[in-house]
Amino acid sequence: MGLFSSFKHFLISIVTVVTLCISTPVLAFQTIIPVTGTIYNESVKPGAVNLLSLEDFTEAVKDGDAQAVKGLYAEEIFMMRVIQQPSGKPGFVSPIDGIATQFGMAANNNVTGMLAHNFASGRFFFDLSMDDRVSVVYGDGSIKEYKVTAIYKFQALSPKSSASDFVNLDTGEKLSAAGLFTRMYTGSHHLTLQTCIQEGTEDSWGRLFVIAEPLNA
């Protein structure tokens, strides 16, 4: 791949990440952001999910495809089937509860990125804490284990703009869209879970990122 092609691909990745949240409350939190701005109503919050064991969940989602992620599991927190983004639609995030969407552009950087809307499966990402374990299940039944090592929350200064700057809510650090993409979706292999943070009636006000490092790497 030539230098120009690589640079072009990187720019497309950046725009996608920022666009996600705008279009879909989940991505960057929905940082890649297709606009799916349904406000989540606490009064109709689904009841607690009766989780299967990891073994039973793996049996339920595997389909023989060793190359594709099929499930995401955190004991006593969530279990989600995983789908891949349609070709040519890097901002797509499923609005269906119980589903997480694998971020294709993250995979190009050897990072496993999972997107979910904050009004659907993404709400469970807020329940993760430091040192929690997350299992990624592949189609052949193999499992990769990760441990949560960092949790980041950012405010999007222009929630509906794909070129928005972001402010780290813990440190006050300001990052461009490019800087945020690089921080969350490049580097050594890891798992990144992303959804949007709602504030008042603005469902794409911010972005939540949960970073988990591989165990027994």
Q: What is the pTM of this model?
A: 0.80
The pair phi, psi for residue 121, each rounded to 5°, is -60, -25
Mean residue pLDDT of the chain comes to: 83
Which pLDDT score, from 0 to 100, does residue 163 have? 74
pLDDT over threshold 80, residue 78: yes
Distances in whole angstroms, Cα of residue 217 to Cα of each of 26, 110, 190, 214 = 28, 14, 10, 6
**18: pLDDT strictly greater than 70:** no
Arithmetic mean of pLDDT, 16-22: 44
pLDDT score at 89? 87
pLDDT band at 38; cut points 50, 70, 90 = very low
* Residue 192 token pair: 């990144």
Pick the CATH number of 14-36+46-214 from 3.30.420.10, 3.30.470.30, 2.40.260.10, 2.40.40.20: 2.40.260.10
Q: What pLDDT sits at residue 161?
A: 75
The arithmetic mean of pLDDT across residues 35-40, rounded, is: 38
Please, which residues have CB within 8 angstroms of residue 130's CB and are 6 or more apart in sequence? 148, 149, 150, 151
